[in-house]
Amino acid sequence: MEGALPGAIRYRRGHAGLDWPNPVRFGWYEAGAKAIRLKRGGSGVKATEAWTSNRLRLHHGNAIHIDGTIYFSSGGKSSVALLTAVDAATGNIHGQERAVSQATFVWADRKLIVLDQTGKVLLADPSPKGWKVLAKAELLSGTAWTPPSLAGTRLYVRDRRSIQ
C-alpha cells in the first residue's frame, strides 16, 4: 500500500477474521495456515495467495524460515504438536518428528536453538530431511512457552517461574 507506515498492515486477506503483517499466517489450533506472495510493482505491492493448508497449525510459540523451509510445532488443540518442516514456496510438508514437544526457536550461527515446553534446550542442525541434534540440556523445570532470546553470546530462556 502506497505510503504505508512501517509496521502497518500492508495487505488484507481475511483468514479466521484476522489481518496480519507478515506473508505466512498460521492460525492457532483449527485455523490452518496460508502463505501470501508479495510482488512489488511501481509504487505498490500486490498480494496473492501462494498456498493454504488446513493440516498445518502453529500449535504455540513461533515459526522460523531457514533456507526456503519453515520450521515450527504443528498440532491441533487435542493433538500432539509435531516438529514440522514445510516448503515455504509450496506448503508441502518435508517431514514431521515427535522428538520435542511444543517448541520455540531462535536461529544463530547457522544453528537452531530450540526450547521445548518442558524446559529442554537443544542445539540443532535442521534440514528438510530431518534434525541433527548437536547438544541438549535441561535448563528449566516449569512450563516454557516463551521463545529463547539471544543477546550477543548470552542465551536467555524462561519458564513461568524463572529466567536463566
pLDDT one-digit tens code per residue, 45-90:
888 889 998 888 887 778 888 999 999 888 766 677 888 899 999 9
pLDDT at residue 118 is higher than 60: yes
Between 20 and 50, residue with greater pLDDT: 50
pTM to 2 decimal places = 0.77
Q: What is the dihedral of CA 141, 109, 102, 132, to 10 degrees?
A: -100
Pairing mode of beta strands 111-116, 120-127: antiparallel
Asked if 49 and 13 touch (Cβ cutoff 8 Å), the reply is yes
Instruction: In whole angstroms, give the CA distance from residue 81 to residue 58.
Output: 8
Q: How confident is the model at residue 11, as a pLDDT?
A: 46
- Looking at the domain covering 24-156, what would its CATH class be? mainly beta
* DSSP one-letter code for 160: S
How far is C-alpha 56 from the geometric centre of its chain's CA atoms? 11
Asked if 85 and 128 touch (Cβ cutoff 8 Å), the reply is yes
List, in order, residues 6 or more apart from 120 with CB less than 8 Å away.
100, 136, 137, 138, 139
Q: How confident is the model at residue 125, as a pLDDT?
A: 94
Asked if 47 and 63 touch (Cβ cutoff 8 Å), the reply is no
pLDDT at residue 3 is higher than 50: no
